Structures are given as structure tokens and as C-alpha cells.
Amino acid sequence: MTDLQGVARTEAIADYGVIGTGRDTGGGFDEDLQGLVEIAAQVCGVPQAAINLIDHREQHQVATVGLEPSVCSTEDSMCATILSSPGPVHVRDAREDSRFASNPFVTGAIARVRFYAASQLRTPAGVVIGTLCVFDEEPRELTAQQRRSLDILARQVVDVLELLRTSRELRRSNDELAHFAGQVSHDLLNPLTALTGFLEVVGEQPAVTQDPVAGPYLGRAAQSADRMRLLVDDLLDYARLGGRLRLERVDLAAVCADVLEDLSARVARTGATVEVDALPTVTADRVQVQAVLQNLVANALKFRRDDQPARIRVGAVRVASGWRVAVDDAGPGVPEHLREKVFGLLERGSAVAEEGAGIGLSTCRRIIDAHGGRIGLDASTDGGTSAWFVLPDRD
């Protein structure tokens, strides 16, 4: 018969990634667990204490006081016996308790435990994965305050484990993003390099550069290519470094002007109208914020209603925490139940998004999150989409 509780414990413990030879949790979590077990021993006035994680086969001591961390079978573990108990356990003399009298930690086969107290380690999902226990070779009692303190420390052990799990997930996410960045760098940079080379060749032809119409367009194309290379390089560096920002004072009006310059051909081709209200100066990473704004304006140009010319307004309002910047359009909009989903990697808002790779909004959220801000989608007053982000004050 399968031990369902044991399987659930094993899966929950594995999710924390805290068991294994050569383990290094990083971020100081080992020290945090050790500190909590030391506090437990001090508060309870005992020479020995342990944090035990118990899977379906073994008990693993991940932090101890007064003894070397070890592993034993669940059959030998005192703590495994009380995992299904309704609450904390407090035993003055284990020799007098039927649950423990024949246990090898009590009889002398492994140790000579007399006093024993334990509080369960219960995950947010309700799975009991082990205990924080204190013990002594002499019978003793804990006060009500000491018992309460042991319960509080047990909850803090779980808090540390949860932080460890979250940290591991973030590191894995960063690793995946770095791998993704490496994969797409070839696809992004090679065509851009080819375009730059073509512009350089064309730029060597006097008939083109001296032409009153073609010459200025060629210069603008070269400037856009340079900005795009900077944007791609910085975005890839940003992904590989896990979101490191270069903060400075950024004039969003100037940034928006560069965005519209880069998108001018698309604006002209589609007959779109773009209105820009007064925009503030903020503290941010200029290149990253430009990437966000360019993505939102490009989406507004792309997702228009029945091939009608897009109508777009870019504006900002002061809010309690900083500045809220919005790109409003009159397009088909995004259904409310999809407004969060489209921020997922490779998600598309609707079937009309066939020409897009769908990675833009995911990157935008990552950038705004790194700034300590928020980003989302609402309905615009014209029935389309209002794509907004908040940049917090940093002064």
C-alpha cells in the first residue's frame, strides 16, 4: 500500500531542494536554519536540538545543536512517530511514553534521550514535512512560554524554507532567461548586422547620399539601426545578468520621440495618428524603458480594428507612488480574462497577433518589475486597450 502522506512529504521536501550531499542553498539560508535551531536550544534551555525533514524513507537532520547532523530511517526516528499528531509534543521522560520507550534513540542503541519536545513543520499547503525538536538526556519540563516559542520558531523554519524555494525558482527563471537570450541573439543580431552592412554599402553611393529625398531617409535608417542594436544588446545583457539596471534621469518625452522615429515608417504605412501628451522626467534605465514604450506603441499599431488606421495616445499622470504612463488605442481590445495571461512568455492576446512572436509583454513586465513598478492592461475610453506601467519615485 502506498504511503500517500510519505509521498506528499517527499515531494514537498524535494521542492525546497534542501537535502543532498554537497548542498549549498546560497543566500545565507543554511545560516538562517542553523540560527533558528540554536535559538530553539537556548530558549528551551536544552543541550540538543534539530531541524528534521522526514520523507517516506528517512529522517534528515538539516541543522543541529549539540550533535552532528545525521540521517536515519523513519522506523528509528522519534519525530516520524508524531507527524500525524494533532499538535506539538512534549514528553518529560521518553522512557515512560509508550510511543518512544522502545525507540533506539531512547534505549541507548543510538542515544539516550529522556526529555523530548517537538513542533511540526507544516508547509503553506498543509503538508507536515518534519519537526523542530529539542531534547536532553535528563527529564525536564518546558514552561508554557517555552512551548509557544518552539511553535513560533517552527513556523519561522518553514518561512525560511519557503524563501529558499522562491530563491531557487528565481535563479532557475534567470538561468532559463539567459539561455533564451543566447538562443535569440543570433536571430536578432544577424539580420540587424546584414541591414547595417547594406545601409553602409548604399551610403557609399554619392547618387543616394546627395539625393534630397533618399539621403535623409538613409541617415534616419542608419540611426534607427544603431538604436536597435543598442536596444538588442542591452536587452540581452539585461536578460543574462538577471535584470541589472543602469539608473539615470530619463526624459520620457525624448524617449517617446525616439520610439516614434523608429516606428515612423509603420505609422506612415498604416495611416495611424499618434498624440503625445506632456511626459515627465523619471529615474529609470533609459534603454529598458524605451524597450517597454516601443513595445506598447508597436502593439497599438499592430492590433487595430478591421484594418482601420490606429488612433494612439501616449500620456502620463502623477500617482501616489510615482508616474503612471499609458498607451491608449482604439483597437479591438483584450478581453478581461486574458489581460493577465498575455504577459506570459509566448502568449498572444488574440488570433490577430499572428505576426508577433509574443515575447514582448513578458519582457516588459520583467523590466518594470525590476524597476519596482507595475504594468497591466485596461480598457481604453475608445473601447480598445490601455497598456500602462507605473515607475516609482526614486528621489
Find the domain containing 256 and state its range.
245-395
Q: Are residues 393 and 250 part of one domain?
A: yes
Q: How many CB atoms lie within 10 A of CB 365?
A: 20
Helix (H, G, I), strand (E, B) or coil at 114: coil
End residue of a domain, out of 169, 197, 214: 169
Q: How many CB atoms lie within 10 A of CB 354?
A: 8
Residue pLDDT tens, the chain, 395 long:
346 787 889 989 988 888 864 444 444 567 888 989 999 999 999 999 999 999 989 999 999 999 999 999 999 999 999 998 888 999 999 999 999 999 999 999 999 999 999 999 999 989 999 999 999 999 999 999 999 999 999 999 998 888 888 777 766 666 666 666 665 555 666 666 666 766 676 667 776 667 776 667 677 677 667 666 666 665 565 555 455 678 999 999 999 999 998 888 788 888 899 999 999 999 999 988 998 999 899 889 988 887 788 899 999 999 988 999 999 999 888 898 888 888 875 444 443 333 333 347 887 888 898 888 999 999 998 889 999 999 998 76
Q: Are residues 300 and 162 part of one domain?
A: no
Q: Are residues 255 and 163 part of one domain?
A: no
Q: Are residues 258 and 381 part of one domain?
A: yes
End residue of a domain, out of 169, 190, 213: 169
End residue of a domain, out of 122, 145, 169: 169
Q: Are residues 252 and 128 part of one domain?
A: no
Assigned domain for 194 exists: no
Q: Which amino acid is at 53?
A: L
Assigned domain for 207 exists: no
Q: Are residues 131 and 31 part of one domain?
A: yes
Confirm if 189 and 232 have CB atoms less than 8 A apart. yes
Assigned domain for 337 exists: yes
Confirm if 78 and 66 have CB atoms less than 8 A apart. no
Q: Are residues 38 and 163 part of one domain?
A: yes
- Strand order of the β-sheet with 273-276 is 273-276, 311-319, 322-329, 385-392, 374-379
What lies within 8 Å, CB to CB, of 131 at 6+ separation is: 51, 52, 54, 79, 82, 83, 118, 119, 120, 121, 154
State pTM to two decimals. Answer: 0.51
Q: Are residues 14 and 126 part of one domain?
A: yes
Assigned domain for 218 exists: no
Provide the number of structural domains found in the chain: 2
Assigned domain for 77 exists: yes
